[in-house]
Chain A
Amino acid sequence: EAQVTQNPRYLITVTGKKLTVTCSQNMNHEYMSWYRQDPGLGLRQIYYSMNVEVTDKGDVPEGYKVSRKEKRNFPLILESPSPNQTSLYFCASSLNGLASSYNEQFFGPGTRLTVL
């Protein structure tokens, strides 16, 4: 089944404790992206990746890191989480991210993160 998976689905942690949220897709998509969703603010893009080893900042990258060592995986790293990073996080992927051929983005199930 074609899908985007995220782990963990729920996480409660404390300020400053490094964490990684994994994202994996099995559709051979080139483009992957991370969003955070907060009440009243919609979906805001954190980072995205056009392909292996190619990443770029979205609108709210501060406090986050990403890596794209393999095509299928795009982990989100919080080196020193803070309470303002408490949010619902979505990973998404699409065939490619080229402006010449926009494609549907497929979203993962979401990760609800609470930073105390």
Chain B
Amino acid sequence: GENVEQHPSTLSVQEGDSAVIKCTYSDSASNYFPWYKQELGKRPQLIIDIRSNVGEKKDQRIAVTLNKTAKHFSLHITETQPEDSAVYFCAAPSPNESGGSNYKLTFGKGTLLTVNP
């Protein structure tokens, strides 16, 4: 099955600085990589995702890059703001073990990002 490693587990930055969170995955067949943001006491919500046919995707201040050769993908947040403070999770799919056309989603353990004003 898929193994997703996420680093760092905690990250503290000053407002306006950039933040980078990196994930590695083990299943070379994985081809979809979402990032979820979970604010304190709230549910996870998708903020950006990337499919393996592109190397980078941007949405305003957030971007995700993918290196399929090295099997890692990263979340980049520029011009951080206090409201970016949250736990961020990466995820990667792996085929169902019974060999069907569906998949399981394996999450990283999360990164607690703190943006200091």
Contact = CB atoms under 8 A, between A and B. Distances in A.
A58 B6 CA distance: 20
Q: Interface centre among A97, A100, A104, by most B CB within 10 Å?
A: A97
Interface in B1-23: 1, 6, 9
A97 B102 contact: yes
Contacts of B44: 43, 90, 107
Nearest to A107: B43
A23 B46 CA distance: 19
A1 interface: no
Given A90-B43, A104-B49, A109-B43, A97 B98 contact: no
Interface string A6-38: 000000000000000000000000010101000
For chain B, which range describes its interface: under 10, 10 to 19, 20 to 34, or 35 or more residues?
20 to 34
Interface stretch (B59-67, B69-77, B78-86, B105-113): B105-113
B51 interface: yes
A98 interface: yes
For chain A, which range describes its interface: under 10, 10 to 19, 20 to 34, or 35 or more residues?
20 to 34
Contacts of A59: 1, 104, 106
Interface in A91-105: 97-100, 102, 104-105
B105 A45 contact: yes
Contact of B102 (A35, A41, A99, A107): A99
